[in-house]
Copies of this chain bind each other. A is one copy, B any other.
Amino acid sequence: MKIAIIGAGAMGSRFGYMLQHSGNDVFLVDTWKEHVDTINKNGLLVEENSKLNSIKIPAFLPEEVVEIPELIILFTKSMGLKPMLKSINKIIGKNTQVLCLLNGLGHSETISEFVDIKNIFMGVTLWTSELIGPGHVKLTGSGNLEIQNLDPTMGVTAKKICQTLNDANLNAIYSKNVVLSIWKKACINGALNSTCTILDCNIEEFGQLKNSKKIITKIIQEFSQIASKYNIPLNIDEIVKNVEQTYDPNEAGEHFPSMHQDLIQNHRLTEIDYINGYISKKGKEFDIPTPYNNLLTILVHSKEELLIK
How many copies of this kind of chain does the complex include? 2
**Interface majority SS (helix, strand, loop, mixed), chain A:** helix
In contact, B306 and A211 (Cβ under 8 angstroms) = no
In contact, A210 and B291 (Cβ under 8 angstroms) = no
Contacts of A289 in B (CB 8 A): 289, 291
A205 within 8 A of B: yes
Please, how many residues of chain A have a CB less than 8 angstroms from a CB on the other chain?
25
Stretch at the interface among A33-41, A147-155, A227-235, A294-302: A294-302
In contact, B199 and A298 (Cβ under 8 angstroms) = no
A residues bordering B, Cβ < 8 Å?
198-201, 205, 208-212, 214-215, 218, 289, 291-292, 295-296, 298-299, 301-303, 305-306
Given A291-B291, A306-B205, A299 contacting B214 (CB threshold 8 A):
no
The smallest beta-carbon distance between A184 and chain B, in angstroms, is: 23
Complex Cα distance, B218 from A303, in Å, reads 18
Q: Nearest residue in B to A201 (C-beta to C-beta)? A: B306
Complex Cα distance, B218 from A292, in Å, reads 12
Please pick, from B214, B215, B302, the residue contacting A199 in the complex, using a CB distance under 8 A: B302
Complex Cα distance, B303 from A155, in Å, reads 48
Enumerate 23 A-B pairs (CB-CB under 8 Å) in ascending A order. A198-B198, A199-B299, A199-B306, A201-B306, A205-B306, A208-B305, A209-B302, A209-B305, A210-B301, A210-B302, A210-B305, A211-B298, A212-B302, A214-B298, A215-B302, A218-B291, A218-B295, A289-B289, A289-B291, A291-B291, A291-B295, A292-B295, A295-B295
